[in-house]
Amino acid sequence: MESVLQARGMKPATDSPDLEIVHTCSVTGQAAAKSRNAIRRAKRNGKHVFVTGCFTGTDLDIAMKLGDTIITQAGELPMLDRFAEEVDTWLQKPHTTPTRTNSTLPITTLPIFPSKHTRAELRIQDGCDAHCTFCIIPKIRTTLRSKTIQDAVAEAKQLVDLGHKEIVFTGVFIGAYGHESALRRKQQSPNSEHLADLLDAVSQIDGLKRLRISSMEPGDVTPALLDAMVANKTVVVPHLHLPLQSGSDTVLQKMNRQYNTSQYLEMIAIANERLTSDGLLPAITTDVICGFPTETDEDFEQTIAIAKKVGYLHMHVFPYSVRTGTAAARWEQLPVEVIQDRVQTLLQLDNELALSYRQKLVGKQIQVMIEQFDPKTNVSRGRCEYYAEISLKTNGKQGDLITATVIEATSEVTLAKQVLQILTIEK
Ligand code: SF4
């Protein structure tokens, strides 16, 4: 969007802009409420408000009432092309409508200025038709589209040229990359290893220092993908974000997830074995929903048991919240206090598990990508390949990969010491 505006000579304004764009989220009821507030705020500040994003799919009437120009996700033309069209209409400029269709995810037009961020997201996939009973996404992004390997590599090269050192693959359902459905039983070529091929191709880009996959389901972590991770381990990090959502098979079934707990644990065991056999310490993170309708104390205990068994580096804990328009919204809800209690229990466990994972790093040599420097304390911060946030003293600058040894892990911080580079002077 920024590049569309830049191409038309528009610049960011700090006060009283002529145009404000509110890119909304609607994945939870709370996100939708925040989106509504953001549109109202923009309307008060700006002269003309564009509303884009998922809220326009779930609450189109409200979006139309609150904003001036609405650009929904759905439509024949890719969203960004329709955005460009609306910008031209607003600027009263002639517009030529491109002829690309929605069958593949188009390459993103990137800003022309170098970036200040070390990390960039590369959206490789969009859409989901898995219909988990708590999720609204299949109603607003039903069409599955993937970026071709060629386009994804071209976009990744541009991101590296813009100064990004790390790329994260993102998507609504990354495991469906290259497939026409997120439901494995409906995939025409379920055994094709599109994601592994993409990982291989992007890893070869000169100047890319780190590559991460954001989130996958158990069935997506295939032996071929693990092989591609190991083969490209100088770039691809051994971090897997694998949403569990619940440790109870009864709840997983009610959620309409595509796996049960034994399949989940089996996949973790395979990933652990493959990565550790190559000297890597797998870092596993997850999402858990607390208080899904019908979740009993016993179900919740099973979630705790699985979390302990896996030993997550981090759990993203979500209290279940009703999303109007989903199946689970029509079921009897658990009391808020029960949900909050379970969230607190899981957050406490998250701290304990994270600490015990980070303690395993003590004594290990790691690579830290510097993201921030605090001049007051002289300490830099960044993430290591195992996803843990590391603090260290270094003269390295933002975007540098520093070799360091972890010296201490406490509940607050993981400290590392830079490994000194010894230079040999040839006589
Ligand atoms: S897999 Fe389930 S939770 Fe994820 S986007 Fe699809 S429907 Fe939503």
Reference 300, options 334, 263, 266, 264; nearest CA is 334
Which segment of 5-9, 96-100, 333-337 scores lowest on mean pLDDT? Answer: 96-100
Mutational pocket test of ligand 1: of 28, 54, 58, 128, the residue with most ligand atoms within 8 Å of the beta carbon:
128
Dig out the tokens for 402 from the structure: 């520093």
What fold, for 365-418?
A: OB fold (Dihydrolipoamide Acetyltransferase, E2P) (2.40.50)
Residue with CA at minimum distance from ligand 1 atom 8: 135
Ligand 1 center from residue 137 Cα (angstroms): 7
**How far is 87 from 218, CA to CA, in rounded Å?**
41
Q: Are 163 and 399 in contact (CB under 8 A)?
A: yes
Residue 416 phi/psi, 5° resolution? -135, 160
pLDDT for 362 beyond 90: yes
* Count of CB atoms situated within 10 Å of the CB of 387: 18
Which segment of 180-184, 187-191, 214-218 scores lowest on mean pLDDT? Answer: 187-191
Name the strands in the sheet holding 119-123, side by side, starting at the edge strand that comes first in the sequence. Answer: 119-123, 166-170, 210-213
Dig out the tokens for 333 from the structure: 């809800």
The pLDDT value recorded for residue 75 is: 62
Burial class of residue 339 (count of CB atoms within 10 Å of its CB; 0-12, 13-18, 19+): buried
Reference 172, options 142, 151, 193, 148; nearest CA is 142
Atom of ligand 1 nearest to the CA of 128: 6
pLDDT for 216 beyond 80: yes
Please report, for the chain, the start and end positions of each structural domain, with discontinuous segments joined by +: 2-91, 119-360, 365-418
Q: Are 102 and 143 in contact (CB under 8 A)?
A: yes
Pick from 4-13, 178-187, 387-396 the range whose average pLDDT is largest. Answer: 387-396
Class for the domain spanning 119-360: alpha beta
Cβ–ligand 1 distance for 42 under 6 Å, the answer no
Q: What is the mean pLDDT of residues 48-73?
A: 89
Cβ–ligand 1 distance for 122 under 6 Å, the answer no
Position 146, amino acid: S
pLDDT for 1 beyond 90: no
Instruction: Report pLDDT digits (tens) over 152-179.
Output: 999 999 999 999 999 999 999 999 999 9
Instruction: Report pLDDT digits (tens) over 257-308.
Output: 999 999 999 999 999 999 999 889 999 999 999 999 999 999 999 999 999 9
Ligand 1 center from residue 257 Cα (angstroms): 8
Dig out the tokens for 143 from the structure: 């069409």
Q: How confident is the model at residue 423 (pLDDT cuts 50, 70, 90)?
A: low
Residue with CA at minimum distance from ligand 1 atom 4: 173
Instruction: Report pLDDT digits (tens) over 76-88.
Output: 567 788 888 889 8
Q: Are 364 and 388 in contact (CB under 8 A)?
A: no
Q: What is the mean pLDDT of residues 191-212?
A: 93
Which value, to the nearest 10 degrees, does the dihedral of the CA atoms of residues 294, 181, 76, 103 take?
Answer: 160
Residue 169 host element (H or E):
strand 166-170
The pLDDT value recorded for residue 272 is: 94
**How far is 367 from 289, CA to CA, in rounded Å?**
32
Ligand 1 center from residue 136 Cα (angstroms): 8
